[in-house]
Amino acid sequence: MIPISSMNLKRLLTAVFLFSLMIGQCRSAEPKPWQGSKSQWNGSARHDFKFGDTTAIIVVPDKPLPGNPWVWRGEFFGAFADADAALVRSGWHLAYLRVPDLFGSPKAIKVWEEFHKSMVEEHGLHPRPGLIGLSRGGLYCMNWAAAHPEKTLAVYLDNAVCDFKSWPGGKPKQLGTGKGSEPEWAKLLKAYGFGSDAEAVSSKANPVDNLSPLAGRKIPILLVYGDSDTVVPAQENSGIVYDRYKALGGPVERIIKPGQDHHPHGLKDVGPVVTFFNRSLRQQ
């Protein structure tokens, strides 16, 4: 038996500890398998599962792109989802977290933070998801991006709400030219914890007022909208975002649908949306 000095024993034990730590890290780096019920969505595997007190959906592409990039739908999973489906076919994961009636409020962003951490650290998805903000989903996506530009790849907004004074405020509250919704306005006050209409109106919690963090990180934005939207008027939402973001030096492009109202969402040819996200991924 070869005698081991106390110094060598210490070195040996240190080496064993570091090796065990390395093995543990390698094991923890292995992505967790998706849980919940499994089904098919547009030909790809869909997983519906519980996430805390809410539910989530993940659609897994047949051939994920390197780095596991993903797009995160802010609201209305499956609605006008041609672009979502095309992205999955091209190798992107698609995610949705159900937090309705929170209008992108701090309560919603807090749950999003927990979900993002799980998707990245436990399931190995890309640390910077692309965001899809359709209609009120724009509030979720843009408020997330303003709070976490370092965890945002790019934002695609489709007839999106970018100022809650415009919707659900609008005509009922004399805050915009759109149809608005008094019931939804009441839900919004509750979600944000506003004590009055005046407090909501004076708030700077709207995407149109928080573009600087995105511009500072050069987060690309794609705006698609109808110029005759009577629900989420373009001149009060997407139009303002375009002008202000461009003035801030942020990368922004838009596709305007002449004569189109709030519906239908999306584009007949979703190629520009897929190109937008793929280009953003290459240029990150």
Q: 5 pLDDT exceeds 80?
A: no
The percent of residues in the chain predicted with pLDDT above 90, rounded, is: 88
| Contacts by 118-126, CB closer than 8 A, 24 or more apart | 118/51, 119/70, 119/95, 122/31, 122/32, 123/31, 123/32, 123/34, 123/58, 124/29, 124/31, 124/68, 125/68, 125/69, 125/70, 125/93, 125/95, 126/67, 126/68, 126/69, 126/70, 126/153
Q: 25 pLDDT exceeds 70?
A: no
Q: Which region holds residue 16: left if phi is over 0, alpha if psi is between -120 and 50, else beta?
A: alpha
Q: In the prediction, which pLDDT does 11 show?
A: 62
Q: 242 pLDDT exceeds 90?
A: yes
- Asked if 222 and 83 count as a contact pair (C-beta separation under 8 A), the reply is no
Q: In the prediction, which pLDDT does 266 show?
A: 95
Q: In the prediction, which pLDDT does 284 show?
A: 83
Q: In the prediction, which pLDDT does 225 show?
A: 98
Q: 111 pLDDT exceeds 50?
A: yes
User: Where would I find the H helices in the chain?
Assistant: 6-29, 82-89, 106-117, 137-147, 182-192, 197-202, 212-216, 238-247, 271-283
DSSP designation for 34: P
Rounded CA separation 75/103 (Å):
10
Residues 158-176 pLDDT 10s:
999 999 999 999 999 999 9
The percent of residues in the chain predicted with pLDDT above 70, rounded, is: 90
Instruction: Read off φ and ψ for residue 188, nearest 5 degrees.
Output: -65, -45
Kindly report the pTM of this predicted structure: 0.88
Q: In the prediction, which pLDDT does 22 show?
A: 41
Mean pLDDT within 191-217: 97
- Cα–Cα nearest to 222, from 164, 150, 271, 282: 271
Residues 256-279 pLDDT 10s:
999 999 999 999 999 999 999 999
Rounded CA separation 92/81 (Å):
14
- Asked if 162 and 146 count as a contact pair (C-beta separation under 8 A), the reply is no
